[in-house]
Amino acid sequence: VGVGSNSNITENGIGVERERAAVWEVDRATGSHRIFASGLRNPNGLSWEPATNKLWVVVNERDEIGPNLVPDYLTSVKDGAFYGWPYSYYGQHVDPRVRPQRPDLVAKAIAPDYALSSHVAPLGLTFYTAGKLPGYQGGAFVAEHGSWDRAPFNGYKVVYVPFSDGKPAGKARDVVTAFLNRDGEARGRPVGLAVSRMGALLIADDLGNTLWQMSGKGQQTATR
């Protein structure tokens, strides 16, 4: 279970961040629970990579360092690992705004596997193993909800990240775009992803109040 932070960089105090910015492991039968991994500011879209059965997640990183920092990312989630937030980003790049500093924790921070882009706000993740969409088997679709604090806007699309041997293996490719019009106004924001029983990609759009279906080249439908 992904649990996001209370703030951008602990502006409300580190106390309110206790047990947040983490991925939890919860036993549904007994209710027992523990922190599986920490230092993940806003983890979303938890999904199992099909070749290795390892857990992956997309993460919304911190804001207000500038338009090109910090990159949001896609990463495997390692048991017991610390991914830096709030003290550092993308491994051991220290965020000097955070007080007090914790060099001991920064030294333990590991870098994520794959940078997306800055402020794209990834919220959905699903791996594709069906046969309806040739050329996408084994890789990951990512829903980028879109930025609010940079110009030009970034994200507002669904991208595909190819995988090989359980790891990202190439640049992200745009799959579904046009959520921004030519004037830069949002007419949709992708948020959640799933694969239907028929193998189509389903895209939840929380601005357009629409569920989009991508079932093949040139075939997109929408349900409101």
What's the pTM value of the predicted model, to 2 decimals? 0.94
Q: Are 119 and 155 in contact (CB under 8 A)?
A: yes
Mean pLDDT computed over 208-217: 90
CB atoms within 10 A of CB 13: 9
CA-based nearest residue to 76, from 3, 127, 121, 28 = 127
The reported pLDDT for the residue numbered 222 is 53
Domain ranges of the chain: 1-115, 119-224
pLDDT at 44: 98
Say yes or no to pLDDT of 201 above 60.
Answer: yes
Phi, psi of 155 (to 5 degrees): 95, -135
For residue 104, the surrounding DSSP H or E stretch is helix 103-106
pLDDT digits (tens, 9 = 90+) for 165-187: 999 999 999 999 999 998 889 99
Asked if residue 125 has pLDDT above 90, the reply is yes
108: left (phi over 0), alpha (psi -120 to 50) or beta: alpha
The CATH architecture of the domain made up of 119-224 is: Beta Barrel (2.40)
